[in-house]
Amino acid sequence: MSVEQVFYCEWRDCDSHVRTASPSPTAFIAVAEDAGRSTQHFCSWDCLLMFAGEKPPVETILLDEEAA
């Protein structure tokens, strides 16, 4: 017996969703963070990039004033 799941786009301004019996929706972009512990789903690259644009950078590289 298969169990259907509903996956929603993680971007807060998007109401896209898909219902599927597979473990991961094929129409959505799946992003795994923290070595696969947290998986988020997005309906398009636009939603993914808007979501990622609000996250703080993982690494900040300072500009060397003397080298410039």
The structure's pTM equals: 0.70
pLDDT tens sequence across 16-62: 988 888 877 788 898 887 776 788 899 999 999 999 999 888 888 88
Helix ranges restricted to H, the chain:
45-53
Question: Which residues pair with residue 20 across a beta bridge?
Answer: 5
The whole-angstrom separation of Cα 51 and Cα 55 is 7
Say yes or no to pLDDT of 68 above 60: no
Q: Which helix (H) or strand (E) holds 14?
A: none
Please check whether residue 62 is in contact with residue 49, taking contact to mean a CB–CB distance below 8 angstroms.
no
Say yes or no to pLDDT of 66 above 90: no
Q: What is the pLDDT of residue 53?
A: 92
Specify the length of the chain in residues: 68
